[in-house]
A and B are shown apart, each in its own frame.
Chain A
């Protein structure tokens, strides 16, 4: 059976909610089975073209194969069974996890610098710079990463655009209203670090609006554009 036939089946299965990983395995098994059938039929004296034709009949048409797989709900991915969880709630939680990890990283780097590199307030090494980078990450990059994760997996699982859009908007607003602070100060004897996360409600300033727009424009707009281009923008 020509590879293009299975490519069509692969896309149908993914759009029907079968996980990409399972689709890959099913297609590889069908391809191997097809090759075995062709080999078996060739041994009976059929030409290569006849063998391929007979093998395709024995394996089943794309419609039959697709129907038999889609009819089994246990083969559907969990992400398509609970799209609100996979593409909205979990990415939103990943935002909180990124904040926590950023704080943990700041504390760990400070501890390492003090105890291992013997940093002093006069020679703080890269700690102040790292604190600034972590703060910038938490404020600007983390919401975009969380929204990108939601959109990437929604595209990969061929899910409808509804929940990644809802998730990205929530992430953009929550991320924009979050204030992260990672400060190093040259306190004696070894310097000090403070890290904090807080919310600013209902402060809707220009900076917050810009942060919301940044996530939506950089992540959500290309996602919707790409889905529309592929003819798979469904709500």
Chain B
């Protein structure tokens, strides 16, 4: 499960740019709270992905409030494809085991 937060973040940001609160909200809503990330813990993950070149950050002021918006980079898109394949492989394997018991 260690790559799941990274996979989710990259997946959401591949659709559109978001800031941290939006991202945490989207993860909570879409997974129907099945996956609960510590919301503050999201930021070191975002910064780490940015420093590895998977994300790009930019400041934007909307309605008088300055936010840091994140967007996926081509390198991040490749990482997303890798993680997605890996996740499908693992999930398929687990599914096979469950179906066979």
**B46-72 interface mask toward A, CB cutoff 8 Å, 1 = contact, 0 = none?**
011001100000000000011110000
Interface core residue of A25, A33, A68, A72 (most chain B CB under 10 Å): A33
C-alpha spacing A65/B39, complex, angstroms: 10
Main secondary structure of the interface of A (DSSP, over half): helix
Q: Are B20 and A29 in contact (CB under 8 A)?
A: yes
Question: Which residues of B (1-48) have their CB < 8 Å from a CB of A?
Answer: 19-21, 24, 38-41, 43-44, 47-48
Q: Are B41 and A33 in contact (CB under 8 A)?
A: no
- Residue A22 is within 8 A (CB to CB) of chain B in the complex: yes
Which stretch (A56-64, A198-206, A222-230) binds chain B? A56-64
Interface size range of chain B in the complex: 10 to 19
Question: Which residues of A (52-96) have their CB < 8 Å from a CB of B?
Answer: 58-60, 64-65, 68-69, 71-72, 74-75
Residues of A contacting B43 with CB < 8 Å? Answer: 26, 29-30, 33, 69
What's the least CB distance linking A198 to chain B, in Å? 44
Say which residue of B19, B40, B67 sits within 8 Å of A30 (CB atoms): B40
Q: A74-B52, A75-B44 are in contact. Are A29 and B68 (CB under 8 A)?
A: yes
What's the least CB distance linking A75 to chain B, in Å? 6
C-alpha spacing A58/B19, complex, angstroms: 17
Q: Are A59 and B40 in contact (CB under 8 A)?
A: yes
Question: Which residues of A (24-38) have their CB < 8 Å from a CB of B?
Answer: 25-26, 28-30, 32-33, 36-37
Residues of A contacting B52 with CB < 8 Å? Answer: 74
Known contacts A32-B67, A74-B48, then 19 further A-B pairs from the complex at CB < 8 Å, ordered by chain A residue: A26-B43, A28-B68, A29-B20, A29-B43, A32-B19, A32-B20, A33-B21, A33-B24, A33-B40, A36-B21, A58-B39, A60-B38, A64-B38, A64-B41, A69-B43, A69-B44, A71-B44, A75-B48, A75-B51
Q: Top 4 closest A-B pairs, CB basis?
A: A60-B40, A36-B21, A59-B40, A69-B44
